[in-house]
Amino acid sequence: MKHAPEAALKARLATLAGIPKAWPNQDFDLPPVPGDAAARYAWAYLACEIIRTGTSDTTLNAEAPVVTGRLIATAVTLKGTGEARANEIAEQVAALFPMGERIAVSGFVTQITQPPHIREGMGDGAYWRVPVSIPFQTFTSP
């Protein structure tokens, strides 16, 4: 189960085409910033983190661990281009992970345990960031 949540969540986010994704401890080249206004509006990427919050197991021999955590996928756009593009990306991300959704990968199931929460946007230097928090649990497939 070592990498089961990551594999499932990455696989689902990979279906969101056209938006580069930055994952922790992996090389990522920031897309070049274009000069014209329309291209600057379209410029975006997702900063992704998977945060494990706990592991439990109610079986006698510790044979069925359940890992809980959150995927934080942050839509990043250029500051000064408005909020609409980042909000649109955040909504697309949230739509990929409806509550109750089960994603099966390699004998494990990752289930979305609550509706995704799109947080308030915030400025960060030259960027505008809108985080989406997606709670999950991963367990062995029955």
Assign residue 69 the CATH number of its domain: 3.30.2000.20
For residue 97, the enclosing domain spans 4-140
| Count of domains for the chain | 1
Could you tell me the CA-to-CA distances from 5 to 8, 36, 43, 102, 131 in Å, in that order? 5, 39, 28, 11, 19
Structure tokens at 114: 């609550």
Token look-up 């909020």 returns 83
Query: H-type helices in 15-122, by residue range?
Result: 37-42, 84-96
- Dmax (CA) of the chain: 62
Question: How long a stretch of residues is the chain?
Answer: 142
For residue range 1-59, list pLDDT tens digits in order.
556 788 899 999 999 999 999 999 999 999 899 989 889 999 999 999 999 998 877 77
For residue range 119-135, list pLDDT tens digits in order.
999 999 999 999 999 99
pTM value > 0.75: yes
Task: Give the DSSP letter of residue 63.
Answer: -
